[in-house]
Chains A and B, each alone.
Chain A
Amino acid sequence: MIYVYLEAHELGFKKNCFETITYALDLAKHTQEEVIGICLSHIDSNMFTQAENFGLKKIIQLYNPGFSNFDAQLFSKIIAHKIKTEQANIVFSNTVQGKYLAPRVAMLNHYSFLNNIIGLPENLVFKKNVYSGKAIQMCKPLNTNWVIAIASNSYHITEQKVSCNISVENIDIDLSKIKCISSEKTSDTISLVDAEIVVAGGRGLKGPENWGIIEELAKILGAATACSRPVADLHWRPHHEHVGQTGIQINPNLYIAIGISGAIQHLAGVNRSKHIVVINIDPEAPFVKACDYAVIGDCFQVVPKLIDAIKQVKK
């Protein structure tokens, strides 16, 4: 039996859930195992439809009227207990919640723990991203049971219509020890970690007043915006946009870096992107050698032309 942790937000299940569902279904194909979604939040009709569209036949909702906020300590104990009782394995996504829960669940049950997993295993040998994307480690769980977390945006999503059955199990919980005292939304734009396309600007843009072209390009592509470390340190852009070794590590399908030279610390945060386009005036910039497509030219001329060209094909 393979469980899949289903994480909800205001628009239903998060996109990463469909990736983990497809992954778990493909994994279970060989072993003829059953795949069951496990969810600790309220499931509305929209989420139910989503589950049916992505091939999930069963969801267990573990429910307690006292649940209000996400609490890793409580949630992990509930999940660990459930999978131990069922002798099941579990797949998480490497999202914020997945990173809280997967290691805790593995530790509580002393299950083998593997994260940053890319692709399906061969003979139970899993591949994982290590050294900030500079190497891949092959490793094998030695326990019969395991907890894995797959790298977000690393597996395809397959739609397949099935009928889904939800069972609600009431559970007892301890009192939460943590209290959320304030929450702040940084912006209404797309979150960097989930984004399929990311457009980033560096010092080559010369100043915060020139960010209009970055934002416009991001807008027509439905992309998230990011920046390099010097730009965040100069306060041209907020720190939460900083991608790189010490900032956020991203893995979108397309990463467009504008006016970023490509210091090794920056590359460590972005080199898991599937396709990288670099726009730089300097053909000798290190990033030009480490990308897939490079446009050599002045970004203030290239980017508006790129925006026009994209608008043309999107018509």
Chain B
Amino acid sequence: MKILVCISKTPDTTSKISFIDNNSKFDDKDVVFIINPYDEWYALVRGIELKEADPSITLHLMFVGTSDIDPIIRKCFALGGEQAIRIDCMPQDSMETAFQIATYIQDNPYDLILCGKETIDFNNGAVGAMIAAKLDIPHFNLASELTLNDTMITVKTEVDGGTETFSTCLPALVCCQKGMAEQRIANMRNIIASKTKPIQIVPPYPFTPNIQNVNFELPPPKSGVKLYNIETINDLVQTLHQDLKLF
């Protein structure tokens, strides 16, 4: 059984978002990068849990990025990852990331692929679905539970107004969210070991980008908050009801 966890780095949630070079590029000066929370807390930790339950499982971590992602890879090792693959390119969009990972998997098959539900920078939530499409395998979005049973998985997913539980034969891909696993903290033994665990670097596969980034804008600032108290609450209701027609 081979499991691959796909992991991305993202700016920390509290980062100030600003742009440089005529607003065409994210300003990463003074920005702290973290493991994308959905990839870390849910996909990676669930992968580690499965490996702990069955040591015969091979668990690999997949990254697409240049060497500046290496500190993030070491952080994943400190949580318990064993071996990492880094495809050495700077992807321009979700499709390029998915294309790189899926092409690698076509040459090096895995039974189960885990991703986070989305990255917190571009919020596309598309890489998992795209990898699955290229590999022609089923995928599940918004998965909150995953059990592995020989060559089958059972996955609980969120759907409109409820949840649905599916089963399927492997290979399959699962995009993980809250509920999948409990957050972990690195222990000292893994932190020390993380410095020497292997990262296999793979050259990128040729890809023609099909999206052009023009530039970025910040959303218009809030026009300022209007304050009310219990005495003036009728004025607020009038504004919401008559002026904005919200109800």
Q: Answer whether residue A169 sits at the interface, using C-beta atoms and an 8 A cutoff.
A: no
Within 8 A of A (CB), among B193-216: 209-216
Given A265-B13, A296-B229, A309-B237, A179 and B214 contact (CB-CB distance below 8 Å)? no
> Given the interface contacts A140-B212, A181-B165, A268-B13, does A103 sit within 8 Å of B227 by beta carbon?
no
Q: What is the bound-complex CA distance between A222 and B246, given in angstroms?
A: 11
**Cβ of A213 under 8 Å from chain B:** no
Given that A73-B132, A134-B17 are contacting pairs, would A183 and B233 also be in contact in the complex, using a CB cutoff of 8 Å? no
| Docked pose: A106 CA to B240 CA in angstroms | 40
Contact between A72 and B139, CB atoms less than 8 A apart: yes
A217: min CB distance to chain B, Å:
11
A116 (CB) vs chain B CBs: closest residue = B123
A72-B211 contact, Cβ under 8 Å, with A179-B167, A187-B161, A295-B230: no
- B218 pairs with A113, CB closer than 8 A: no
Q: Which of B167, B179, B223 lies at the interface centre, i.e. has the most chain A CB atoms within 10 A of its CB?
A: B167
Contact of A254 among B126, B132, B213, B240 (CB under 8 A): B240
Residues of chain B within 8 A of A132, CB atoms compared: 120, 123
CB of B124 within 8 A of chain A? yes
CB-CB under 8 A for A139 and B211, given A180-B166, A184-B162:
yes
Beta-carbon nearest neighbor of B168 in chain A: A178
Number of interchain pairs (Cβ within 8 Å): 250
A28 within 8 Å of B by Cβ?
no
List CB contacts (< 8 Å) of A262-315 with chain B: 264-265, 268, 275, 277, 283, 288-298, 301-302, 305-306, 309-310, 312-314
Are B14 and A310 in contact, with the CB atoms below 8 A?
Answer: no
The 8 Å CB contact of B228, one of A131, A294, A301, is A294
Is the C-beta of A76 less than 8 angstroms from some C-beta in chain B?
yes
A100 to B226, CA, bound (A): 40
A181 engages B167 (CB within 8 Å): yes
| Contact for B216 among A104, A137, A180, A240, CB less than 8 A | A137
Q: Is the interface of A mostly helix, strand, loop or mixed?
A: mixed
Decide if A171 is an interface residue (CB 8 Å cutoff). no
> What number of A residues sit within 8 Å (CB to CB) of B?
92
Q: Interface residues of B, CB < 8 Å — how many?
A: 79
Contact check, B212 vs A136: say whether CB atoms are below 8 A apart. Answer: no
Nearest opposing residue in chain A for B157, CB measure:
A96
Bound together, the chains give a CA A110 to CA B229 distance in angstroms of 55
Cβ of B167: which chain A residues have Cβ within 8 Å of it?
A: 178-179, 181
Whether A197 contacts B217 in the complex (CB less than 8 A), given A178-B167, A186-B162, A296-B227, comes out as no
Q: How distant is B5 from chain A, measured CB to nearest CB, in Å? A: 18
Q: How far is the CA of A254 from the CA of B246 in the complex (A)?
A: 7
Inter-subunit contact A305/B219 (CB<8 Å) = no
Q: Is the beta-carbon distance between B94 and A138 smaller than 8 angstroms?
A: no
Which residues does chain A contribute within 8 Å of B213, judged by CB atoms?
A: 137-139
Closest chain-A Cβ to B33's Cβ sits at a distance in Å of 14
A193–B158 Cα distance when bound, in Å, is: 12
Q: Kindly list chain B residues whose C-beta atoms are within 8 Å of the C-beta of A289.
A: 225
Pair A245/B210 contact, Cβ less than 8 Å: no
With A180-B165, A264-B14, A301-B230 already in contact, the answer to whether A245 and B136 are too (CB < 8 A) is: no
State which of B19, B129, B226, B233 has its C-beta within 8 Å of the C-beta of A103.
B129
B2-20 residues with Cβ-Cβ distance < 8 A to A are 11, 13-14, 17, 19
A295 to B222, CA, bound (A): 17
Q: Is B28 an interface residue (CB 8 A)?
A: no
> In the complex, which of the residues B99, B124, B127, B210 contacts A143, with contact meaning CB atoms closer than 8 Å?
B210
Q: Judging by beta carbons under 8 Å apart, are B13 and A115 in contact?
A: no
Per the bound structure, the CA–CA distance linking A283 and B228 in Å amounts to 11
- Ranked nearest first, the 8 interchain pairs of A and B with the lowest CB-CB distance are A103-B126, A103-B129, A104-B133, A107-B133, A107-B130, A138-B214, A185-B162, A309-B237
A residues in contact (CB < 8 Å) with B: 9, 71-73, 76, 95-96, 99-100, 102-108, 110-116, 125, 127, 129-143, 177-187, 191, 193-194, 197, 221-222, 239-240, 242, 245-247, 249, 253-254, 264-265, 268, 275, 277, 283, 288-298, 301-302, 305-306, 309-310, 312-314
Residue contacts A-B, CB under 8 angstroms, 10 given: A106-B130, A116-B124, A137-B216, A139-B213, A140-B211, A143-B210, A246-B37, A254-B247, A288-B225, A293-B236
Chain B positions within 8 Å of A, measured between CB atoms, are 11, 13-14, 17, 19, 37-38, 41, 93-95, 98-99, 120-127, 129-130, 132-134, 136-139, 141-142, 154, 158-169, 177-179, 209-219, 222-223, 225-230, 233-234, 236-242, 244, 246-247
